[in-house]
Chain A
Amino acid sequence: MRAVTWCGKHDVQVERVPDPGIINDRDIVVRVTLTAICGSDLHLYDGYIPTMKKGDILGHEFMGEIVEVGSGVTNRAPGDRVVVPFNIACGRCWFCDQQLFSLCDNSNPNAEIPTKLYGHSPSGLFGYSHMLGGFAGGQAEYVRVPFGDVGSVKITSDVPDEKVLFLSDIFPTGYQAAENCGDIEGGIVAVWGCGPVGQFAIRSALLLGAATVYAIDHVPSRLAMARQGGAETINFDADDVYDTLMDLTGGRGPDACIDAVGLEAHGMSIDAVYDRVKAAAFMATDRIHVLREMIRCCRKGGTLSIPGVYGGYADKMPVGALFGKALTVRTGQTHTHRYMEPLLKRVEAGEIDPSFVITHRMALDDAPDAYANFAERDDGWIKVVMDPAQRSQEHPWEYAAIAENRE
């Protein structure tokens, strides 16, 4: 089959690789009908995530048709149409039992690595470094899904792929981020980052009753999409975020703040430049410009909700402000399995059409170009979906020759 592989910093390739099969009894194998590139894939592309190995297959947002089930799976069968959560969970450990699926005890074969770094290991993820399991991802024609009996949601209606693909990651992520704000009924929420997760966080916050959502970014197309979703926007290139938010809220600050940016925060303020220098010198790996700004802007006693993706260590963390303003922090990877059925119902009921976020529909073979453009955050590039069955206009299949030579 063809698959998108990580080949180093700023280097992804499309290669011919063996088809996946059943390895463990609770596995299923899915033929991928639609897959996407995530903002967090860009952290891999930009070389921010350690323990990647050349040849790793990328991709954690995918859906398709089951072609094979392991002997331990009784609730799924070949032919079933499924969306698969980006994290892998056994469904039966204490954490899964508490609905904390992104903290599953049994889904990271390399748990020793995060245990050394963090104290304990989170769940395994598809296509997201060996530290998190080294699982082959779903930017490919086929993918093997461990614990497929709990790691899939069945789609029985004829709702198109584009409307349900994002149940795999970004819709539940934005929704959990909004839920983590606490009770925002009638309140004010500020969202930093208008990438796809930010877009879903905006809409989810409004679905959950927020009176106003302020969305902060500097890419015009992202700000426009945020406005279409009901947010009022702040362009941080044009205006100081703190001053603007204080002005809009009469000096109090928003009730809850969502960091939908994560460890690669951009920005040209002094602290952001400092972060970049330190990151380049490997002395601090995560850039927390957004986190610092949120801590400053949030109202006293408010909540910081951080879906963001952070990986390592950060410098100059304003713990004094965190303490002095009595802020609540809620963070972590999405407990995707918890949200898929409820959000599927909302989609099928017509409450929300997640396909709004798609800006580019490409072939799997276009992945190298897609990554390059998306990584630049070029205006207009917000979400790329790829169809493995589609032939590329730009890149008619050229890799067969290389594969034949290798064999």
Chain B
Amino acid sequence: MNMTSDQLASRYAFDDSDMGIYGLEYPHARRRAESTNVGEVERVASGLVGGLLALSGVSLLARGHVLTGGAFSAAGALMAVRSATGHCPVYEHVGVSGAENELEISAPWTRTLELEKSVAIHRPASELYTFWRALDNLPQIMKYLERVEVIDDHRSRWTAKGPRDKPLSWEAVITSDVPNEHIAWTSTEDSQLATTGSVQFVPVREGDTLVRVALQYHPPAGALGALAANVFGRSPAKVLEKDLKRFKATMEAGEVITTEGQPRGACT
């Protein structure tokens, strides 16, 4: 992998800037998403082949084989560049992309959002069910939620984080509730945001539970659509994944540890 540590970090770092409410600045992520057209595995292969080609090219040039040496070096350089940047000018010209599955939805949000993620948690299903069933706990897990108010046994009002003057809020009812196994909910008909969700708690082995969450959001029209897109950001699947990791850490370790606020130096 021919990358400096900065390249490695920026390529693989979980860049919060493409996540809506965590920071609304994501031109960097957008640029990356638009121009990436080479799949991950192919990028690695490109880098390796490119390196070998470049080495042979240089050695051929050194021995006076200008044409083949030049061709090999140039090909090697192209392969290395497409590996490093994820963008292949040849692919672009031909209109092909190897990276389509990897792109998340792009703003503005125009089609139904369907998310499904699972996480293994080392706590009994009953404990996880109990925590989740108290729906006012959910903002601890789903960071895009400002608050969930429980109205009665079945009804609750959910409010997403967003601008004060335009809160995105909806009422939901529990449609299925099997203690220690399954909870499902859906937004009521007049809601700003149409959404359904479910969570399953599947015991795997002693003390281990597989938690499977499925969420559906149907895009509201107009300005609300843009607002909702802001709330869920460019990578709603990653948001859900991070939320479930947070749920796991909360239930297992009792807290989600962070390094925010720790000291660091400035170097001269």
Interface residues of chain A, those whose CB is within 8 Å of chain B, are 1, 3, 5, 7-8, 11, 13, 15, 17-21, 23-26, 47, 49-52, 54-57, 72, 88, 90-94, 97, 105-107, 109-113, 116-117, 124, 130-131, 133-136, 140, 144, 146-147, 281-283, 285, 312-313, 402, 406
Q: Which residues of B contact A55 (CB under 8 A)?
A: 264-267
Q: Does B262 contact A (CB under 8 A)?
A: yes
Specify which of A106, A109, A140 is in contact with B248 (CB 8 Å cutoff).
Answer: A106
Q: Which of chain A's residues has its CB closest to B11's CB?
A: A116
Q: Which residues of B contact A124 (CB under 8 A)?
A: 257
| Majority SS at the chain B contact face | loop
Q: Does B48 contact A (CB under 8 A)?
A: yes
In the complex, the answer to whether A23 meets B253 with C-beta atoms within 8 Å is no
Q: Which residues of B contact A50 (CB under 8 A)?
A: 3-5, 8-9
Contacts A3-B265, A17-B265, A110-B13 given: A283-B48 contact, CB under 8 Å?
yes
Q: Which of chain B's residues has its CB closest to A13's CB?
A: B267
Interchain residue pairs with CB less than 8 A apart (12): A3-B263, A15-B266, A25-B255, A54-B266, A55-B264, A56-B264, A72-B254, A94-B120, A97-B122, A105-B249, A113-B9, A134-B259
Q: A359 CA to B1 CA in the complex, in Å?
A: 37
Contacts A134-B259, A135-B262 given: A51-B252 contact, CB under 8 Å?
no
In the complex, the answer to whether A93 meets B122 with C-beta atoms within 8 Å is yes
Closest beta carbon of chain B to A116's beta carbon, Å? 4
Q: A94 CA to B122 CA in the complex, in Å?
A: 6
In the complex, the answer to whether B252 meets A93 with C-beta atoms within 8 Å is yes
Closest beta carbon of chain B to A246's beta carbon, Å? 35
- Binary A-proximity of B4-39 (CB < 8 A = 1, otherwise 0): 110011001110000000000000000000000000
Contacts A49-B5, A52-B5, A94-B122 given: A5-B265 contact, CB under 8 Å?
yes
Specify which of A17, A52, A110, A282 is in contact with B263 (CB 8 Å cutoff).
Answer: A17
Q: Which residues of A contact B101 (CB under 8 A)?
A: none
Closest beta carbon of chain A to B194's beta carbon, Å? 30
In the complex, the answer to whether A105 meets B264 with C-beta atoms within 8 Å is no
Number of residue pairs across A and B with beta carbons under 8 Å?
145
Q: Which residues of B contact A107 (CB under 8 A)?
A: 257
Closest beta carbon of chain A to B186's beta carbon, Å? 31
Sorted from nearest, which 10 A-B pairs have the closest CB atoms?
A50-B5, A5-B265, A90-B253, A7-B267, A112-B14, A282-B2, A55-B265, A15-B265, A94-B122, A50-B8
**Extra pairs beyond A50-B5, A109-B258, A281-B51 (4, CB < 8 Å):** A106-B248, A106-B252, A146-B257, A282-B4
Closest beta carbon of chain A to B40's beta carbon, Å? 9
Specify which of B3, B249, B257, B263 is in contact with A57 (CB 8 Å cutoff).
Answer: B263
Q: A55 CA to B253 CA in the complex, in Å?
A: 29
Q: Does B163 contact A (CB under 8 A)?
A: no
In the complex, the answer to whether B257 meets A54 with C-beta atoms within 8 Å is no
Q: Does B261 contact A (CB under 8 A)?
A: yes
In the complex, the answer to whether B5 meets A20 with C-beta atoms within 8 Å is no
In the complex, the answer to whether B262 meets A144 with C-beta atoms within 8 Å is yes
Closest beta carbon of chain A to B190's beta carbon, Å? 38
Q: Which residues of B contact A8 (CB under 8 A)?
A: 267
Q: Which of chain B's residues has its CB closest to A116's CB?
A: B12
Q: Which of B185-207 contact A (CB under 8 A)?
A: 207
Q: Which residues of A contact B181 (CB under 8 A)?
A: none
